[in-house]
Amino acid sequence: MNKLILGRYFPGDSPIHKLDPRAKMIAGIAFIFISFMAKNGQGLILLWLFTFFVMSLTKIGFRVFFRGVRPLIWLILFTVFLQILFTAGGIIYFTWGPIKISEFGLINALFIFSRFVTIIFVTTAVTLTTKPMELTDGLNFLMRPLRFLHVPVDELSIMLSISLRFIPNLLDETQRIMDAQKARGAVFGEGSLFRQMKALVPIFLPLFSGSLNRGEELANVMDVRGYRSELPRSSFRQLTWKIKDTVCMFVILLLIAAFAVLNLVID
């Protein structure tokens, strides 16, 4: 039912798996910005080298990463083609009406493609090596400064973790309800778009109603177990920052420095 590899945890004990989720998330987000620092051929090579380095460190086969790119490949190719066909600059190789295939266009396309794909690969490396709960823990920590803006970070965090916890349940229930309705002669995925949407009502409504029920029961349980959002709460789940995490941050800084140097030297 869900083929999106982007969010799926892949068990393992590689160096990347063992990093603190905060380090990984910071590194991942930093990388997105760093990728824009690649402005020349050497920068591009560095970008790809670093990406492959991270990918191989996860000890997860490259095929899994490629599967993560696949859903987005059309968007990427579309953007790339737009660049190729409509950006003018430098030597023009081919013209036909509004279409101009030029040197700039091709180079830009290469850079855009590289950024897209390396960003996907690196962020996938983060989500493949970090359990969803760890991601929430990391997110919780990173969102802390937002408290000053009166954003209810702790509530959002607990909402997120409870939602995550119930995803397998939702999957199960959806399948069960689908089976039950199929057993009563319901047909899914056939007919006009309208008909297909209408056919989903016997699935969505029970799911929705069940979720509302569940929400109410959970709220009661939380209440009875003393949950009061306005009072300080401790956290059983603890993240411990280790030396390897500092090393990770250091590597990112090195990468930034490397790009900065490249951009200074080459030009």
Partner 1 sequence: MNEQIIQVKDLTFKYEPAKNNTLSSVSFAVNKGEWLSVIGNNGAGKSTLALLLIGLLKPQSGSVFVCGMPLNEETKWTIRRHAGIVFQNPDNQFIGATVQDDVAFGMENLNMPVEDMRQRVTEALELVGMLEHREADPSRLSGGQKQRVAIAGVLALHPDLLILDEAFVMLDPRSRRELLATLKQLRAEQGLTILSITHDMNEAAASDRILVLKNGSVANSGLPADIFSEEMDVEAPFSERLRRLLLSKERRTPESYLTESEWIQWLCK
Partner 2 sequence: MQIRLNQVSADYQLGPVHSPRVLQDVSLQIAPGTFTAVVGPTGAGKSSLLKVLNGLLLPKSGWAEVGNIKIDSKTSKKALKAVRKHIGMVFQFPESQLFAETVEQDISFGPLNFGASPEAAHDLAIKMIRQVGLDESILQQSPFSLSGGQKRRVAIAGVLAQEPEVIALDEPTAGLDPSGKAELMSLFKQWNKCKRLTVILVTHDMETAARYADDAVVMDQGKVVYHGSVRSLFADSEKLNRWQLDVPEARRFQLAFETYSGIRLPNVCLTEEELAEALIGVGRV
Contact positions vs partner 2 (CB under 8 A) = 1-2, 8, 171-173, 175-177, 179-187, 190, 201-203, 205-206, 209-210
Binding-site partner at residue 59 among partner 2, partner 1, none, CB < 5 to 8 Å by type: none
Binding-site partner at residue 187 among partner 2, partner 1, none, CB < 5 to 8 Å by type: partner 2
**Helix (H) or strand (E) segment spanning residue 115:** helix 103-129
Q: State the maximum Cα–Cα separation within the chain, in Å, rounded to a whole number.
A: 72
What Rg value do the Cα atoms of the chain yield, rounded?
24
- Token look-up 């393992």 returns 12
Q: Which is nearer to partner 2, 8 or 39 (CB)?
A: 8
DSSP 96: E
Binding-site partner at residue 234 among partner 2, partner 1, none, CB < 5 to 8 Å by type: partner 1
Least Cβ distance, residue 109 to partner 2 (angstroms): 34
- What 3-state class would DSSP assign to 198? helix
Binding-site partner at residue 184 among partner 1, partner 2, none, CB < 5 to 8 Å by type: partner 2
Side chain identity at residue 255, one-letter code:
L
Q: Which is nearer to partner 1, 98 or 232 (CB)?
A: 232
Least Cβ distance, residue 12 to partner 1 (angstroms): 16
Q: Which is nearer to partner 1, 14 or 211 (CB)?
A: 211
Least Cβ distance, residue 7 to partner 1 (angstroms): 15
φ, ψ of residue 251 in degrees (nearest 5): -60, -40
C-alpha 112/C-alpha 163 separation (Å) is 35
Q: Which is nearer to partner 2, 18 or 176 (CB)?
A: 176
CA contacts within 13 A on the Cβ side of 238: 5
Q: Which is nearer to partner 2, 183 or 231 (CB)?
A: 183
Which two structure tokens, joined as six digits, stand for 164?
């995550």
C-alpha 237/C-alpha 135 separation (Å) is 12
Can you say whether the dihedral through the CA atoms of 198, 203, 205, 208 is positive or negative? Answer: negative
Least Cβ distance, residue 240 to partner 2 (angstroms): 30
Least Cβ distance, residue 179 to partner 2 (angstroms): 5
The footprint of partner 1 (CB under 8 A) covers: 133, 161-162, 164-165, 168-169, 172, 213-214, 217-218, 220-228, 231-238
Q: Which residues contact 255 (CB under 8 A, 6 or more apart)?
A: 34, 46, 50
